[in-house]
Structure 1
């Protein structure tokens, strides 16, 4: 059984690595790259919402911080991409701490409103701090990443760069969720009062979850800026935060792999429904409601149910 899993894993890795070789259409590859960036945001959101039970609708704000910090560092100070990305993570972490501390006494819809407000505040700052952010015009000519003198600028090159970050992010997030921290976050989600009664510093772990989710959004933002080459406040609206939440729920927010599934599925659906862009929030709302009703554990939950049924059939 274990040998079969290793073979399937190897086949999966080979298929993923060869995606740019058999997908010749650059637009399709662009969508895949974009989904990979969004997957990083959703992985962080799953740690916050799925494992800790804290719903955030302000991830677009952290995403924006990461994008602008990285872009401005490279454009104005000539900072290399990887150093700019680290700076994005640090600044996003700080913003995560800033929003998490006053939000500790909030829960449910009040926490949601607080995070919505945070996202809108960030967007308005980007829109009105014209001398730095260029306002509504946004930033153009964001430099491409460089690795040992090689400039990453083609869709294929970005595919492998983003893939490395997604694999690394998945590994880190998985290690976190399987550690003592992850088990404690799950305990807080299941029963916060019981966890606190057992001596768990609940607020400390909630703050940590916010900070982790902000860091993931920050690194995703750094990738997004260099990948797109341009950015503006219009890229970080409330719609984007709703989209990230939908990705989390659709994939299965109680697993890390669910964040990746959800990001790819919803990004592809979104691109396919561009003609209905005006009704985007309505479509997302319907998808979210239907998922909660018919797939409470997301796509990963369905896969696990099928796997468990097959095991029961074999056992019989």
Structure 2
């Protein structure tokens, strides 16, 4: 129990970051470099914070009790799904770096909107968000994040084996060929984008009580780069890549904390080396199969 008391916040943060890495994995599954997840994460957190703090919803909180927290997850997921659909339909007609820039602009727009609204607390943000289900310790949020991670991994596994998952991979490998085969690229790319948006929004709604405060710093360009690093370092072609990358990269600053300022240098060095020498990510070290030995067969000599 002492271990959970001392490291519970860090453990819950590792699982949280793994989930956020997975939210970026779904668009990548269909070949889309989207950096919009921090925006949906911030939006989901604001939805939860407003429902849990704003006096206008006091009657709803009194009527629902702890079910209010479940309601925040559902509302955040629904709002992010609708916004993901509205943003995805025009944005996903872009490709590559142009799509990345468009989604970064989306994150910046949400951040500036949050900074200028009274309901979001402006630049100060929202404070005093009640702990979910009356939790007394931060490690108890593992009871929320871990089941969500398990459900997400199970969903991802079934999705990849389904017809939709095969369509995603076909679009990722060759969009023009997939279109010629009757697979509508825009429809499937928007679907992948919306799935990632919903996951990021739900994680944000769970994270607002976890952090006890919420402000515009939760969804920034820096967060977009961090989430992308989770996927690229862990591996973008396997669902375990974002989990491994998010866990390790979120833990690295804490592991290197005794080195003080040098930990930032080492953290950057790890990212550079992994990018250069692990093109398939860290997961590639475990999934790489040994190529069969190409020993030439002995020719039979006719006697």
What TM-score does the superposition give when structure 2 sets the normalisation length? Answer: 0.86
State the secondary structure of the residue aligned to 2:123. Answer: helix
1:111 Cα shift?
Answer: 0.5
State the secondary structure of the residue aligned to 2:105. Answer: helix
Residue 85 (1) aligns with residue 73 (2): yes
Alignment gaps of 5+ in structure 1: 1-20
1:278 Cα shift?
Answer: 11
**Corresponding residue for residue 240 of structure 2:** 257
CA contact (8 A) 1:58 1:119 kept: yes
Deviates more, 1:102-111 or 1:153-162: 153-162
**Corresponding residue for residue 210 of structure 1:** 193
2:13 maps to which of 31, 34, 44: 34
Listed as ranges, the matches of 1:71-150 within 5 Å are 71-76=49-54, 77=57, 78=61, 80-129=68-117, 131-146=118-133
For residues 292 and 229 of structure 1, the distance between their equivalents in structure 2, rounded to whole angstroms, comes to 35
Answer 1 or 2: which has greater helix percent: 1
Alignment gaps of 5+ in structure 2: 294-303
For residues 35 and 263 of structure 2, the distance between their equivalents in structure 1, rounded to whole angstroms, comes to 20
**Corresponding residue for residue 297 of structure 2:** none
1:160 Cα shift?
Answer: 2.1
CA contact (8 A) 1:58 1:238 kept: no
Distance 1:278 1:142, change over 3 A: farther
State the Cα RMSD in Å.
2.3
For residues 283 and 24 of structure 1, the distance between their equivalents in structure 2, rounded to whole angstroms, comes to 25
Distance 1:279 1:57, change over 3 A: farther
Q: Which has the larger radius of gyration?
A: 2
What TM-score does the superposition give when structure 1 sets the normalisation length? Answer: 0.83
Distance 1:102 1:278, change over 3 A: farther
**Corresponding residue for residue 197 of structure 1:** 180
Residue 304 (1) aligns with residue 287 (2): yes
Deviation by residue 1:164-219 (Cα, 9 ceiling, x = unmatched): 11111111122112211111100000000000001101100000011001011011
For residues 250 and 61 of structure 1, the distance between their equivalents in structure 2, rounded to whole angstroms, comes to 21
**Corresponding residue for residue 23 of structure 1:** 3
**Corresponding residue for residue 3 of structure 1:** none
For residues 280 and 129 of structure 2, the distance between their equivalents in structure 1, rounded to whole angstroms, comes to 39
